[in-house]
A = this chain, B = another copy of it.
Amino acid sequence: MASIKDVAKEARVSIATVSRVYNNPEIVSKKTKEKVYSVAKRLGYTPNFLAQNLKKSVVGTIIAAIPDMSNTFFIDIVLGIQDYAESRGYNVLMGRFDPEKFNISKYVKIVKSKAADGIVLATGHNRYYETVAEAEDVPIVTIEEEFMSKPHIYVDNFEAVRKVIDYLLSKGRKRMAFLGYKTEIERAKAFELVMKEYGLEYDKKITWKCDEREEEIPAQTKEYVDLLMKKELPEAIVCASDLLAAGTIKWLAKKGVRIPEDVAVTGFDNVEIAAIFNPGITTVEQPRKSMGQEAARMLINMIEGHEIAKKITFQTKIVIRESA
């Protein structure tokens, strides 16, 4: 409640001096400083961010926009963003957005009205989005997808899928199936390409793409397993996420199929459930926290007008558990 004026009056100095005590302490005399500090403490004075920022025209807040807050994948990214942002004195505003509708204008508006300085956009989809005119001069860093040639963080999905296939081959599995999502194209494409490159056949009929809504996963994996049971089982199933893998394993086990003896199953992302599921799920881990940190670093540098890289590629690592 107390303003700089109150402190100034009480300490019998000008408001300019009080301001300097907080912003350029070195140029004000020790005596004055002590007087101001003690008065400020007594009055419970905290500089008003709004007024400071109005003057400086910097807010100190960045937005992390993610599609799904109940997904560890995105949460870890946000954790990384927060970690780094904090070290630079920025706050993080978290928001949801729908990758289908790509409704970022809400966030663009927030930045334009100076309630935030920039946006980290994570969709988890490797798409190429269309230009949004208003977003032209808004600082944005994207993770995974590309957008208006804004700087972005890229994860090498091809390399990741190759690692999985290599591992399965080393275990003697050749007949592989792929279970992915309708909207995530890169992993499916990578699977196809790597298989072709290795000269391996795979049955397109047992390669399926799910709707991406999480609540649909139990039903969809069940349907998928029912389909599989009617055909000859593959030796391995590569899933585009740990949840798909978990669902698939669950239904296969119910049919009496032994994992991994009869069928090996792999996931993607290494979320919490991969470790705790029974059997533990072999999966691919992206350095999520580092990705978030790097995104925040790029964004803040961009906001503060420094030079930054246009694209940063992260490598993945395979985490071997019991399911494959």
Contacts and interface: CB of A to CB of B under 8 A. Distances in A.
A275 interface: yes
Classify the secondary structure of A's interface with B.
helix
A227 interface: no
Q: How many copies does the complex hold?
A: 2
A75 B70 contact: yes
Contact of A72 (B48, B70, B95, B253): B70
A53 B49 CA distance: 11
A247 B272 contact: no
A153 to B, nearest CB: 19
Contacts of A48: 54, 113-114
A70 B76 contact: yes
Contact of A253 (B44, B247, B278): B278
A112 B2 CA distance: 10
A78 B69 contact: yes
Interface stretch (A86-94, A155-163, A166-174, A294-302): A86-94
Interface in A71-112: 72, 75-76, 78-79, 82, 91-96, 109-110, 112
A50 B54 contact: yes
Interface in A244-261: 246-247, 249-250, 253
B272 A70 contact: yes
Contact of A113 (B46, B59, B110, B114): B46
Contacts of A70: 72, 75-76, 79, 272
A270 to B, nearest CB: 12
A16 interface: no
A148 to B, nearest CB: 16
24 contacts: A44-B112, A47-B113, A49-B115, A50-B53, A50-B59, A50-B114, A50-B115, A54-B54, A60-B115, A61-B93, A61-B115, A69-B75, A70-B75, A70-B76, A75-B75, A82-B95, A91-B115, A93-B93, A93-B94, A94-B94, A218-B276, A250-B278, A273-B273, A276-B277
